[in-house]
Structure 1
Amino acid sequence: MLQTTAALIVFLFPLAYSPGPGNLFFAANAARFGFAATVPANAGYHLATWVVTAAIGLGFVTAMDQAPQLFAALKTAGSLYVLWLAWKLVRAGALEGAQQARAASFTDGAVLLVLNPKAYVIIALMFSQFLAPAEAPRLWPVLLITTIFTLNNLLAFSAWALAGGSIAKLFQTPGGARWLNLLFGAVLAAVAIWMLLT
């Protein structure tokens, strides 16, 4: 099992640490509000990650295969949700939003994961590679893979948030905060469009 765990981590490393919707979302929030403010959303995202991953590993992928329209609906809903978060960030800057803006919440983090169909694809691919079809009982291998996947993502997103938090120190004035909101709002909008088109 140790060899499988090591192979799984190597498989997941480029997926988790390369730029993607999740890491850019947390980097943008940390840049605007600081690293500590991202903790609730990070917790929400990764609690949802663990639950969704375990569900897929225990058979949810079969339901998705039988209802491809669900995948398309999640893809659209997820893109629109990230676009909405980007609009809130941009608008906060335009309104001198130091008092009006707020960091992403636990719920925002959970919704971001649930409405991200790319996560479902990666999770299904991971189980197809690292869970033997005839493995019995399946519960413990699924829970182990789920936990490794979740912790790996948590570390990656925290690293991106730390990088974003260090950027925030460069923007201490109201004018700087406005430009920061516009910049990272644009990044999140680009992520939303990327999620929608790919």
Structure 2
Amino acid sequence: MLQTIPALILFLLPLAYSPGPGNMFFAANGARFGFRSTVPANAGYHIATWAVTAAIGLGFIVALDEYPTLFVALKLAGSLYVLWIAWKMFKSGTLQQQETARPASFWDGVVLLLLNPKAYVIIALMFTQFLDQSKSGWLSEVILITTIFTLNNLVAFSLWALAGDRIADYFRAPSSARILNITFSTALAIVAVWMALQ
């Protein structure tokens, strides 16, 4: 397994660092509330990531195969959740008006992962490519793959949140803050539609 770790990381790099529901969510929250405010949601998302990834690696994906409507329901629920986040951001005021908005919580991060069908697809694809269930010791492989996947995502999402925070430094005035809110809410809305159509 150790010799396949570089290949696994190369496989995950474009998936983790390209714009998607998680990255846009954390970039938007970093821009709105600052990098530190994203830590609880990031922790929630990645604790849920580790648990869901391990469950899929241990056979949870079989349930999704047997009940395809479950996947469709997750996809639609995830799209609606991201669209709701986009709407809240669109309606928010300037970056100084913290009383009308709040940073994403630990549980927002958990829900975002659970309702992100892209994550399930990537996880299932990852295990089909990198897990050899024919060998003994595959349980330790599941744990290793799960941990690498989770840590890679954690770094990616943290970088997106940090980028959002840095971008926001240029948008402190009310008019430019409105532009930032509209830009990120539009990006999230596009991601929500994309999720629904996949």
TM-score for the superposition, normalised by structure 2:
0.95
**In 2: Cα distance, 1:196 partner to 1:163 partner:** 27
Partner of 1:86: 86
CA deviation profile, 1:15-42 (whole Å, cap 9, x unmatched):
1111111111111111111111111111
CA deviation profile, 1:37-65 (whole Å, cap 9, x unmatched):
11111111111100000000000011110
* 1:10-159 alignment runs, 5 A limit: 10-93=10-93, 97-159=97-159
SS in 2 for 1:102: coil
SS in 1 for 2:92: helix
CA deviation profile, 1:128-185 (whole Å, cap 9, x unmatched):
1111121223321100000000000111111111111110101112333233222211
Partner of 1:163: 163
**In 1: Cα distance, 2:110 partner to 2:131 partner:** 25
SS in 2 for 1:99: helix
**In 1: Cα distance, 2:38 partner to 2:177 partner:** 17
CA deviation profile, 1:73-105 (whole Å, cap 9, x unmatched):
0000000000111111111228x8432111111
**In 1: Cα distance, 2:151 partner to 2:49 partner:** 10
Aligned partner letter, 1:57: G
**In 2: Cα distance, 1:88 partner to 1:44 partner:** 20
**Aligned Cα root-mean-square deviation (Å):** 1.4
Q: 1:2 Cα deviation (Å)?
A: 2.3
**In 2: Cα distance, 1:62 partner to 1:2 partner:** 26
What is the percentage of aligned positions where both structures have the same residue?
Answer: 68
Moved over 3 A (4+): none
Show structure 1 runs of 5+ residues with no match: none
* 1:173-192 alignment runs, 5 A limit: 173-192=173-192
**In 2: Cα distance, 1:88 partner to 1:97 partner:** 14
CA contact (8 A) 1:31 1:164 kept: yes
Larger displacement relative to structure 2 (172-181 or 67-76):
172-181
CA contact (8 A) 1:93 1:179 kept: no
Show structure 2 runs of 5+ residues with no match: none
**In 2: Cα distance, 1:32 partner to 1:122 partner:** 28
CA contact (8 A) 1:24 1:160 kept: yes
**In 1: Cα distance, 2:6 partner to 2:105 partner:** 33
Larger displacement relative to structure 2 (99-108 or 130-139):
130-139
- Give the length in aligned residue pairs: 197
**In 1: Cα distance, 2:195 partner to 2:155 partner:** 22
CA contact (8 A) 1:75 1:116 kept: yes
Answer yes or no: is 1:6 the counterpart of 2:12.
Answer: no
CA contact (8 A) 1:82 1:192 kept: yes
